[in-house]
Amino acid sequence: MNAPDRYERFVVPEGTKKVSYERDTKIINAASFTIEREDHTIGNILRMQLHRDPNVLFAGYKLPHPLQYKIIVRIHTTSQSSPMQAYNQSINDLDRELDHLKNAFEAEMAKFSRDY
Amino acid sequence: MEGGVSYARMPRVKIRDLKDDYAKFELRDTDASIANALRRVMIAEVPTIAIDLVEIETNSSVLNDEFIAHRLGLIPLTSQRAMSMRFSRDCDACDGDGQCEYCSVEFHLLVKCMTDQTLDVTSKDLISSDHTVTPVDFVDSSLAEPSDTSTNRGIIIVKLRRGQELKLRAIARKGIGKDHAKWSPAATVTFMYEPEIHINEDLMESLTLEEKKEWVESSPTHVFDIDPVTQQVSVVEPEAYTYDDEVLKKAEAMGKPGLVEINAKQDSFIFTVESTGAIKASQLVLNAIEILKTKLDAVRLSEDTVEADDQFGELGAHLRGG
């Protein structure tokens, strides 16, 4: 009867930003990114990729509530970098990794169908 | 790319087995977050096509209308087209009534039982408006001879007795497993850490043959075996190990801790993918990578966010006396 529509879990409502950015008011080079309609799939890969960046002092994500379809990624970096730079870099690196993975899988498929 | 530095990894893949509805492969040089993201996307976010709207004209069967509508929804449909189709909610060419080639496929079903024998209404009775989108045909491709019609009758929707009739129109739409499980292309997707098993040979040789047998038997799965000639214990199938710790507990109980050392390799995974038949297992993996890339692209910062921060940054620097 009053159940919310199922698509509300993954469709960003009109007039809402997918990603919003908020600087920390007390700590320099720290910020939170609120990502709408995403979950552990994106949150966890971003966090792990950020941990590979030596300029990142802290990176974590949380899903504040299972019925609020958003995640919050918090990044704290050294003065050599900035949260925004680290965030962009991690997305670029993940994109590159997935590109490589796709090619690797396709190459293996071609090899597999040839060999067997 | 900022300054040309990159912390990207170059994962390796090795396919072990590949069939239409089954794939087994090794994924190396990456971490559990990527493996798990792939698994999650395969289950819940790779799109397929499934019946979503049913208009029943006549139903004198024993099952009620909504029961039949639900059963129709669960029938897997061949969904190679799904990646290039539109979601009904973002389709601007139609109002989602099933007449639109970009977002929907229409099905008809018209069956009446005229004999004294019970009539099975199956997925094979569904007539599709698009020959590329049809109910999945479960013919085992590994069989050399095509199976006879008595063993391959499709998925039963309902059974009719004499005089009963079922007539309906159904609209199939593109969707994802997150919305409803009927759209999930995956039957099962699992991954395990590759185990690394080392037997301490010196300690092992301090056991009698009886003790060795007892220890090998303690594993619930067939991981170790004893060579009948040399009476040496060896690892025959490391991947059969289910991380149950039984052999470690047994070694402890026998007073031989450290008899075997088992490590889960943190950067090496063995994936098992089973598809419902809606798309091929190999295509499922590739689509999942593609979807994950699109998702990552969607979470990039927008231009106005960056600009707003630049201004704020200057202002902040100014306020700090910069």
Torsion angle in degrees (nearest 10) through CA of B176, B180, B185, B190: 110
Q: What is the pLDDT of residue B71?
A: 97
Minimal C-alpha gap between A43 and chain B (Å): 9
- Answer whether B301 sits within 8 Å of A95, measured CB to CB: no
Give the orientation angle of helix A40-51 with respect to helix B32-44, to 10 degrees: 160
Helix (H) or strand (E) holding B217: helix B209-217
Which residues in chain B have Cβ-Cβ distances shorter than 8 Å to A40? 36, 40
Q: What is the pLDDT of residue B2?
A: 46
Which residues in chain A have Cβ-Cβ distances shorter than 8 Å to B5? 89
pLDDT at residue B281 is higher than 50: yes
> pLDDT band at B98, cuts 50/70/90?
low
Minimal C-alpha gap between B308 and chain A (Å): 10
Which residues in chain B have Cβ-Cβ distances shorter than 8 Å to A38? 295, 299
CA atoms within 13 A on the CB side of B169: 9
Q: How do strand B22-28 and strand B127-128 relate by DSSP bridges?
A: unpaired
3-state SS track over B31-87: CHHHHHHHHHHHHHCCCEEEEEEEEEEEECCCCCHHHHHHHHHCCCECCCCHHHCCC
Cβ-Cβ contacts under 8 Å between A and B: the total is 133
Closest CA to A19 of A93, A98, A84, A97: A84
Which residue in chain A is spatially nearest to B2 when comparing CA positions?
A89
Residue type at B241 in one-letter notation: Y
Which residues in chain A have Cβ-Cβ distances shorter than 8 Å to B178? 9-10
Give burial (CB, 10 Å; 0-12/13-18/19+) of B143: exposed
In b/e form, how buried is each residue of B157-193, taking b as 16+ CB within 10 angstroms?
Answer: bbebeeebebebebbbbbbbbbbeebbbbbbebebbb
Neighbours of B67 (CB within 10 A): 14
Q: What is the pLDDT of residue B89?
A: 86
Residue positions counted in chain B = 322
pLDDT at residue B294 is higher than 70: yes
Cβ-nearest to B13 among A41, A91, A108: A108
Which residue in chain A is spatially nearest to B283 when comparing CA positions?
A106
ipTM of the complex: 0.95
pLDDT at residue B144 is higher than 60: no
Distance CA A3, CA A93 (A): 39
pLDDT in tens, B209-232: 999 999 999 999 999 999 999 999
> pLDDT band at B201, cuts 50/70/90?
very high
Alpha-helix runs per DSSP H in A1-116 = 40-51, 83-115
Best of B83, B89, B267, B289 to substitute, by most chain A Cβ atoms within 10 angstroms, is B289
Average pLDDT over residues B6-22: 95
Conformational region of residue B294, where left means phi above 0, alpha means psi within -120 to 50, and beta covers everything else: alpha
Range in A25-34, B92-101, B200-209 the model is least confident about = B92-101
Average pLDDT over residues B174-198: 97
pLDDT at residue B311 is higher than 70: no
Minimal C-alpha gap between A55 and chain B (Å): 11
More confident residue, B139 or B254: B254
Minimal C-alpha gap between A1 and chain B (Å): 17
Residue pair B77/B275 in contact (Cβ under 8 Å)? The answer is: no
Distance CA B122, CA B150 (A): 13
Taken in order B58, B64, B65, B68, the sign of the CA dihedral is negative
- Answer whether A9 sits within 8 Å of B18, measured CB to CB: no
Conformational region of residue B200, where left means phi above 0, alpha means psi within -120 to 50, and beta covers everything else: beta
> pLDDT band at B14, cuts 50/70/90?
very high
Residue pair A9/A41 in contact (Cβ under 8 Å)? The answer is: no
Range in B129-143, B154-168, B175-189, B289-303 the model is least confident about = B129-143
pLDDT at residue B321 is higher than 50: no
Q: What is the pLDDT of residue B224?
A: 96
Largest CA distance in chain A: 61
> pLDDT band at B322, cuts 50/70/90?
very low
Distance CA B316, CA B319 (A): 5
pLDDT in tens, A57-103: 999 999 999 999 999 999 999 999 999 999 999 999 999 999 999 99
Q: How do strand B127-128 and strand B156-160 relate by DSSP bridges?
A: unpaired
Best of A18, A45, A61, A114 to substitute, by most chain B Cβ atoms within 10 angstroms, is A45
More confident residue, B102 or B285: B285
Compute φ and ψ for B50, nearest 5 degrees: -150, 155
Minimal C-alpha gap between A99 and chain B (Å): 8
Residue type at B243 in one-letter notation: Y
pLDDT at residue B53 is higher than 70: yes
Q: What is the pLDDT of residue B90?
A: 85
> pLDDT band at B153, cuts 50/70/90?
confident
- Answer whether B286 sits within 8 Å of A84, measured CB to CB: no
Q: What is the pLDDT of residue B1?
A: 45
Average pLDDT, chain B: 90
Which residues in chain B have Cβ-Cβ distances shorter than 8 Å to A45? 33-34, 37
CA distances from B252 to B101, B216, B234 (A): 66, 14, 19
DSSP codes of every residue in B223-284: -EEE-TTT--EEES-GGG--S--HHHHHHHHTT-TTSEEEEEEEEEEEEEEEE-SSS-HHHH
Distance CA B33, CA B136 (A): 32
Report the alpha-carbon angle B301-B34-A96, nearest 5: 55
Best of B296, B297, B304 to substitute, by most chain A Cβ atoms within 10 angstroms, is B296
- Answer whether A100 sits within 8 Å of B13, measured CB to CB: no
Q: What is the pLDDT of residue B197?
A: 96
More confident residue, B150 or B206: B206
Assigned token pair, A104: 């690797």
pLDDT in tens, A23-63: 999 999 999 999 999 999 999 999 999 999 999 999 999 99
